[in-house]
Structure 1
Amino acid sequence: MSEQLTFATPGKDAIEPYLPSTTGGPTPADQKPFVTLTFATSLDSSLSLAPGVRTRLSGPESKAMTHYLRSRHDAILVGVSTLLADDPGLNCRIEGATSQPRPIVVDPHLRWTPSDSDKVLQLSRAAQGLAPFVLTGVAPADVPRESAAVLEAHGGRFIHVDPVPSVSSDGRMRFSWPSILEVLRANGLTSVMVEGGGRIINTLLHPDAQDLIDSVIVTIAPTWLGQGGVVVSPERVQDEEGIPVPAGRLSRVKWHSFGEDVVLCGTFNR
């Protein structure tokens, strides 16, 4: 049995204004999911020491906060690079949680081959988490049968998403955030935590996508990782004269201490 984490009431009260509501009736079918962007970063805005290198930043208190956040959302979304690099459990270990969030993996080219040894599937078999929904641009007929069988045996599945037309030269398929959120809503998921990795976070922080974000909760660890890390930074924005301007600014900002870490909560102006 995985270690259960506790998160005290004062901490819950501090972040409550930035979480999905627990009251009210059914969510309208055409309403997008509540989107919380949350991640842990260093003082130099890095998520990890280098691409593919697992780097622990959160202390015990902010880690418990993250698991409490998971208990308040229907889904956790990560990119496939995070899944391959970290082999995460993508479950909730907060004490008293009555449900588990659904892991969502953005994997346009099907880089992940599900295996019984993957931690997220081990936890699913142990009834300590859910198997992921994998969003892919690969046509259903081209998804390997073995992969589909393993995932479906654990309660997960592959979901086709139409990629956006790409003008880049790298040949990568990409999804629009409205398309991703539409798929989540169609599958009954009314709230989602976007946790990483760097490419996923930076695309959501693009000025064109910021209106989709309902809250931002960032854990800042008292450490510098140094140059060469995976950095959180949206694309540069320029005014009509070509002069750089801020790419975004949060409002309703609150800062809270959790152990040695500081947690920033805020929302984008709408």
Structure 2
Amino acid sequence: MSLPPLPTSLKPFLKPYLPSNSNDNHITLTYAQSLDSRIALKRGLQTKISHLETKTMTHYIRSKHQAILVGINTVLVDDPKLNCRYNDEDNLNLNGIRPIIIDPSNKWNYDDSQLSKICEKGEGISPFILIDESITDPKNSNKLKEQGGKYISLPLLKNRKNNWEIIIKKLNELGINSIMIEGGSTIINEILEYPKKIYDVLIITIAPIFLGKEGVEVSPNKQIEFSNVNWWTGIQDSVMCCTPKE
């Protein structure tokens, strides 16, 4: 399905919050949620929340970054394509976007994924999969390598408190500087609560729906304040952009 056009007012609205160059050191944390701060009806259940025009916005934001990062639960539940389907003269990353998958226990069967299939067609970029250093024989390593992706071993299970600094440092060493982090809830909450500021910008799409108490919640365990707050409202959704206070 093709994406609808990006609303013209979104480009100037988003511009102050996006990297001016895809090589800039810049991390965007972004996700879509309900009015009650849920991102899914239940854990393990794929839930569509946002309107098509904000889906186009998501692909536009992807076009400004070198990589998109998600956790293993998002991949197992949604089987996302993790590619960028937005392309115009403002696209900073004409080579596409590199998926980064956090999969410490090597649960994902990459061969059977949508991402693997679209990479075979040249419609996406094969991922870098971050696994724990204890995994000696990762799944599907040959096909991943053939498509240009790879497994990256890091000490992810020993001391989770330092995981994000280790991950970001390693990606920077690989030349990946602008990263769009999309979820799921565990990753979003971890980053929001992290003792050091990991992200530069927060972009939240808010849909006019309640998902209820059984929904998967994004809600950090501490108070967090933001500055440079701006709002955009479309056909259905509202979008909030802001930066964390130092």
TM-score (norm 1): 0.84
Assess if the C-alpha contact under 8 Å between 1:37 and 1:194 holds in 2: yes
Distance 1:125 1:196 in 2: 25
Q: How far has the Cα of 1:149 moved from its partner?
A: 0.7
Q: Say whether residues 1:191 and 2:186 are aligned partners.
A: no
Please give the per-residue CA displacement for 1:95-117, whole angstroms capped at 9, x wherever unaligned. 335231100000011011211x3
- Partner residue in 2 for 1:255: 231
- Partner residue in 2 for 1:234: 220
Assess if the C-alpha contact under 8 Å between 1:102 and 1:130 holds in 2: yes
Is there any run of 5+ residues in structure 2 with no aligned partner, and where? none
Distance 2:132 2:63 in 1: 29
Query: Where in structure 2 are the equivalents of 1:1-270 lying within 5 Å?
Result: 3-22=2-21, 33-96=25-88, 97=91, 98-115=94-111, 117-139=112-134, 141-144=136-139, 147-163=140-156, 165-166=158-159, 176-209=163-196, 211-236=197-222, 247-270=223-246
Assess if the C-alpha contact under 8 Å between 1:164 and 1:174 holds in 2: no
Q: In structure 1, the residue corresponding to 2:136 is in which secondary structure?
A: helix
Q: In structure 1, the residue corresponding to 2:193 is in which secondary structure?
A: coil
Q: How far has the Cα of 1:250 moved from its partner?
A: 1.1
Read off the aligned partner of 2:221 and give its amino acid letter. Answer: E
Is there any run of 5+ residues in structure 1 with no aligned partner, and where? 28-32, 167-172, 237-246
- Partner residue in 2 for 1:243: none
Read off the aligned partner of 2:193 and give its amino acid letter. Answer: H
Q: In structure 1, the residue corresponding to 2:6 is in which secondary structure?
A: coil
Q: In structure 1, the residue corresponding to 2:220 is in which secondary structure?
A: coil
Assess if the C-alpha contact under 8 Å between 1:91 and 1:100 holds in 2: yes
Flag the structure with larger Rg: 1
Distance 1:73 1:101 in 2: 7
Distance 1:164 1:231 in 2: 24
- Say how many residue pairs are matched: 242
Distance 2:84 2:237 in 1: 20
Distance 1:207 1:95 in 2: 34
Read off the aligned partner of 2:216 and give its amino acid letter. Answer: V
Distance 1:61 1:160 in 2: 37
Q: In structure 1, the residue corresponding to 2:116 is in which secondary structure?
A: helix
TM-score (norm 2): 0.92
